Amino acid sequence: MGDPTGFMEHGRELEPDRSPKERVKDWKEFHQHLPENKLKVQGSRCMDCGIPFCQSGTMLEGLTEGCPINNLIPEWNDLIYKGLWKEALERLHKTNNFPEFTGRVCPAPCEGSCVLGISEPAVTIKTIECAIIDKGFEEGWVVAEAPVSRTGNKVAVVGSGPAGLACAAQLNKAGHSVTVFEREDRIGGLLMYGIPNPHLDKTVVDRRVSLMAEEGVKFLTNTEIGKDYAGEDLIADFDAVVLCTGATRPRDLPIEGRELNGIHFAMEYLTLSTKSLLNSNLQDENYISAKDKDVIVLGGGDTGTDCVATAMRHGCRSLLQFEILPMPPEERAPDNPWPQWPKIFTLGYGQEEAMALFGEDPRRYQVLTTKFEAGGDGNVKELHTVQIEWSTGDNGRSSFREVPGTEKVWDTQLVLLAMGFLGPEAGLLEQMGVEQDERSNAKAEYGRYLTNIDGVFAAGDARRGQSLIVWAINEGREAARECDRYLMGTTDLP
């Protein structure tokens, strides 16, 4: 710890994001970096705790506590304070294959577990992480590092999201010949088509994928395992298979009027928008446009926020976001103690932009959608809602009741369902004979990742269900370790 009193002398300062009123006019990233002298000050706030909860990476009563990939946070905070950027980058890459992704889109559970955060604003860990990796690329320090020798083993990784990419990177590092299969036309999975450009520019994804290809990883797009390539053939053709297909089956809302035109799953909306943007700058019109429409987003999570941001860039007329849960508190509730991830009210980038454009936060809480109603053309015209109240029963379970007299009707021509995901699509797992758990995920023990099929592993959202990108990277890395052990009898992978 270079500055023992830094946490007492300096306050928390975040990077200056671009103005919401300006950035909503384009599709460029809104992230900016603090100058190096200010980043040094922020690094000095790290207390170098005896027990650095920020890097512990565990689950505490169902909530993430600390960094799941065990980033060496106090070490690279201190190195930034001392101006040793290249050494900080080396520490960062020891545990994280893709800090340029987590530094942009991870919700930073590390900061929720920062010891300084008990009594003062937490250290700006995520800000420093992103600055380290971006400087590394700018200075030319991040280069392809191909393995010195090959083992002769062939491994197939199915899915190119964060879990699949992390798994492929580690297995390639161990000397195995890795082929990544992706059913979409571009590599990246959720990173490519699930997160809009303003939050994660696709050149950032392509840059890392190009490095991995240079290191020897083979990527095959437009290839869906189970359709274009039979699952049993994959098992026969490769020495091991790792399933990293994600949890892409969306939660639906089967109420009256669900069949109407103009009601779409969030991922369909986001995927088509980004694909059209990358292909033609939206000139091909092969996307679901929100232009001049009254848009309602159902769901209050990160995906809902991305829908909010995208709809405004399309030029929507009005925008609302309905959440069935109560509004989170401003501070931790008694049942949400440190070092758990804090379930508190936050303003996402999309809501911040909506406030700048429309003058208010688009979110409405404790709202239950009861019916969709059509106009004369089969398109959705109205959405019906009622307010609800939540209560906790003697068994500890929460339930809600509708509040009489609170029924409302809202004009809308575009409804986006962003209510989470139920698990992986079943077709491939069933075809390969992979056992599934009660939530339909691939059944494989955490830490081992081996399914009931010899040589077939599962990791990421396909195994654990919808989760954070940083958990996907954690599982991809660990599954690579166990796959390497399976192939070689021993492993040096972390």
Side chain identity at residue 260, one-letter code: L
CATH of 6-138, one of 3.60.21.10, 1.10.1060.10, 3.50.50.60, 1.10.510.10: 1.10.1060.10
Pairing outcome for strands 294-298 and 318-323: parallel
- Residue 159, both tokens: 């899915």
CATH of 154-248+422-488, one of 3.40.50.1370, 3.50.50.60, 3.30.2010.10, 3.30.1240.10: 3.50.50.60
Instruction: Pinpoint the residues of the chain covered by CATH 3.50.50.60.
Output: 154-248+422-488, 252-419
Side chain identity at residue 26, one-letter code: D
State the SS3 of 132-163: HHHHHHHCCCCCCCCCCCCCCCEEEEECCCHH
246 Cβ contact partners less than 8 Å away, ≥ 6 residues apart: 159, 161, 163, 189, 190, 424, 460, 461, 462
> For residues 382 and 412, is the Cβ–Cβ distance under 8 A?
yes
Provide the pLDDT for residue 1.
62
- How far is the CA of 198 from the CAs of 25, 148, 157, 411, in angstroms? 11, 38, 28, 28
Nearest to 204 by CA among 273, 277, 102: 102
The DSSP-derived string for 177-208 is EEEEE-SSSSTTTIIIIIS-TTTS-HHHHHHH
Each of the 494 residues of the chain gets a pLDDT tens digit; together they read 668 888 989 999 998 899 999 999 999 999 889 999 999 999 999 988 889 999 999 988 888 999 999 999 999 999 999 999 999 999 999 999 999 999 999 999 999 999 999 999 999 999 999 999 999 999 999 999 999 999 999 999 999 999 999 999 999 999 999 999 999 999 999 999 999 999 999 999 999 999 999 999 999 999 999 999 999 999 999 999 999 999 999 999 999 999 999 999 999 999 999 999 999 999 999 999 999 999 999 999 999 999 999 999 999 999 999 999 999 999 999 989 999 999 999 999 999 999 999 999 999 999 999 999 998 789 999 999 999 999 988 888 899 999 999 999 999 999 999 999 999 987 899 999 999 999 999 999 999 999 999 999 999 999 999 999 999 999 999 999 999 999 999 999 99
The pTM for the full model equals 0.95
Provide the pLDDT for residue 376.
79
Fold of 252-419: FAD/NAD(P)-binding domain (3.50.50)
Provide the pLDDT for residue 442.
96
Nearest to 254 by CA among 265, 267, 268, 269: 265
418 Cβ contact partners less than 8 Å away, ≥ 6 residues apart: 266, 297, 298, 299, 301, 303, 304, 307
